[in-house]
């Protein structure tokens, strides 16, 4: 983002800091997170945003691919794209201005920020993130599933790789462990990611799988406990 003088006649989007505690599958604290988010309710349709639709993988797709991977004894990896929404580039001809960052002094009484990349909670942030990610995956040789645009796949010789994306949560599986590791490195070269190892927690669901018996189970016991509490 660039600091500019308050432009006349332009809508100025509000912002705030949001703090969140991310927890592990067992409920213990994983990390403390802080995000600068935009006040999307201050945006005006046709002025600083247009299209907002962004596809995400369906829960049925996750369940189907997990069952397929366990059936064929494939490795199932999980990872997060770091700061996923910040990867989307805003259109140069669409000027979006945001108020000065809360808590920072010396920014100038009449100065605002012109955004170059999408920010959390911007109306178009999800769409820009998906557009950027899908382009990067296509460049790596992946295809988008016609049944679910949140599912990407690649056929490499006799092998197949499948990537399922839900915002920044991903699972990656396929018939070749070597190719999984190879393409995970390529993903990281495009966008920074956090490797979470074998999948055991996704979208608030605890995943337990046993390759020896080709079985998998999904549990939302923590969610149920939170609702009861």
pLDDT value of residue 16: 87
Please tell me the distance from the alpha carbon of residue 161 to that of residue 139, in angstroms, as a whole number: 15
Query: Total structural domains in the chain?
Result: 1
Please give the pLDDT value at position 144: 92
Q: How far apart are CA 164 and CA 171, in angstroms?
A: 5
Q: What is the pLDDT of residue 164?
A: 92
d(CA 135, CA 123): 20
DSSP state of 17: E
pLDDT tens figures, 210-227: 777 778 888 888 788 888
**What pairing do the DSSP bridges indicate for beta strands 97-98 and 111-114?**
antiparallel
Q: What is the pTM of this model?
A: 0.76
Average pLDDT per block of 10 residues along the chain, 229 residues long: 80 87 76 85 82 83 89 87 71 79 67 81 83 88 91 92 86 90 86 81 80 81 85
- Comparing CA positions, the residue from 196, 6, 229, 212 lying closest to residue 109 is 6
pLDDT of res. 108: 62
- Look up the domain containing 103 and give its range: 2-228
pLDDT at 122: 84
Question: Residue 5, class by beta-carbon neighbours within 10 Å (0-12 exposed, 13-18 middle, 19+ buried)?
Answer: exposed
Query: What pLDDT sits at residue 153?
Result: 94
Distance of alpha carbon 9 from the chain centroid: 34
pLDDT in tens, 55-90: 888 888 988 998 898 888 898 888 887 766 666 777
User: Among candidates 155, 226, 191, 161, which has minimal Cα distance to 79?
Assistant: 191
What are the angstrom distances between the C-alpha of 183 and each of 75, 101, 154, 179, 189?
14, 37, 11, 6, 10
């Amino acid at each position: 983002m660039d600091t500019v003088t308050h432009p006349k006649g332009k809508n100025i989007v509000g912002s705030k800091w949001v703090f969140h505690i991310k927890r592990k599958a067992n409920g213990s604290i994983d990390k403390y997170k802080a995000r600068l988010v935009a006040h999307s309710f201050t945006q005006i349709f046709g002025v600083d945003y247009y299209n907002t639709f962004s596809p995400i993988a369906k829960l049925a797709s996750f369940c189907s691919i997990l069952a397929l991977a366990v059936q064929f004894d494939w490795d199932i990896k999980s990872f997060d794209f770091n700061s996923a929404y910040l990867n989307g580039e805003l259109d140069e001809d669409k000027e979006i201005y945001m108020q000065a960052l809360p808590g920072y002094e010396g920014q100038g009484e009449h100065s605002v920020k012109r955004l170059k990349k999408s920010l959390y909670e911007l109306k178009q942030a999800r769409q820009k993130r998906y557009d950027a990610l899908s382009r990067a995956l296509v460049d790596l040789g992946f295809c988008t599933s016609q049944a679910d645009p949140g599912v990407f796949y690649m056929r490499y010789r006799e092998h197949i790789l499948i990537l399922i994306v839900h915002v920044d949560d991903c699972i990656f599986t396929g018939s070749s462990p070597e190719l999984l590791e190879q393409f995970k490195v390529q993903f990281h070269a495009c966008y920074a990611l956090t490797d979470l190892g074998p999948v055991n927690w996704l979208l608030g669901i605890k995943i337990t799988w046993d390759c020896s018996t080709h079985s998998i189970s999904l549990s939302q016991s923590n969610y149920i406990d939170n609702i009861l509490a």
